[in-house]
Amino acid sequence: MRGRRWMHHDTTGEFELDLAPLLAVIMKLVPVMLLSSAFVQLMVIETELPQVVKEAIQNNNDPNKNLAKVRLEIDNAAGFKIYVTEKGQEKESAVALKNGALDFPALHENLVALKKSHPDVFQIDLVPRAGVEYGDIVRTMDEARRPRDQQITFPVFDAQQNKQVQTPFMFPEVVFANSLESGL
Amino acid sequence: MSRRRRFQVAAKRPSSFALNINSLTDMFILLLVFLLQTFSTASVQMEPLPGMRLPSSNTNLNPVEGVKLTVSENELRIGDHVLATLENKRFQTKDTDVKDPNFLPQLFNELNKLAENKEDKEYLKEGRVLLQADARLPYDTLRKVLYTASMAGFPQLKMVTMLGN
* Segments making up each domain of chain A, as ranges: 47-179
Q: Residue A48: its pLDDT value, please?
A: 38
Q: Do A176 and B146 touch (CB under 8 A)?
A: yes
pTM of the model: 0.73
Q: Residue A36: its pLDDT value, please?
A: 75
Q: Do A45 and B61 touch (CB under 8 A)?
A: yes
φ and ψ at residue B55, rounded to 5 degrees: -70, 150
Position B22 pLDDT exceeds 50 = yes
Looking at chain A, which runs of residues are DSSP E strands? 42-45, 69-75, 79-86, 89-95, 123-128, 154-158, 163-167, 173-176
The Cα–Cα gap between A167 and A158 comes to 11
Nearest Cα of chain A lies from the Cα of B73 at a distance, in angstroms, of 12
Chain B neighbors of A19, CB-CB under 8 A: 21-22, 25
Q: What is the dihedral of CA B47, B106, A130, A71, to 10 degrees?
A: -80
What count of other Cβ atoms lies within 10 Å of the Cβ of residue B17?
Answer: 7
Nearest to A44 among B35, B63, B135 (CB): B63
The Cα–Cα gap between A174 and A123 comes to 6
Question: Which residue of A lies nearest to B131 if distances are taken between CA atoms?
Answer: A44
User: Tens digit of pLDDT for each residue in A57-93?
Assistant: 566 666 666 788 899 999 999 999 999 998 888 999 9
The length of chain A is: 184
Contact B70, B76 (CB under 8 A): yes
Q: Do B162 and A43 touch (CB under 8 A)?
A: yes
Q: Residue A9: its pLDDT value, please?
A: 59
The Cα–Cα gap between B51 and B7 comes to 65
Q: What is the CATH number of domain A47-179?
A: 3.30.420
Which residue of B41, B59, B136 to mutate against A (max A Cβ within 10 Å)? B59
φ and ψ at residue A120, rounded to 5 degrees: -80, -15
User: Tens digit of pLDDT for each residue in A10-57?
Assistant: 566 777 777 788 888 888 888 888 887 766 666 666 643 344 455 555
Nearest Cα of chain A lies from the Cα of B14 at a distance, in angstroms, of 19
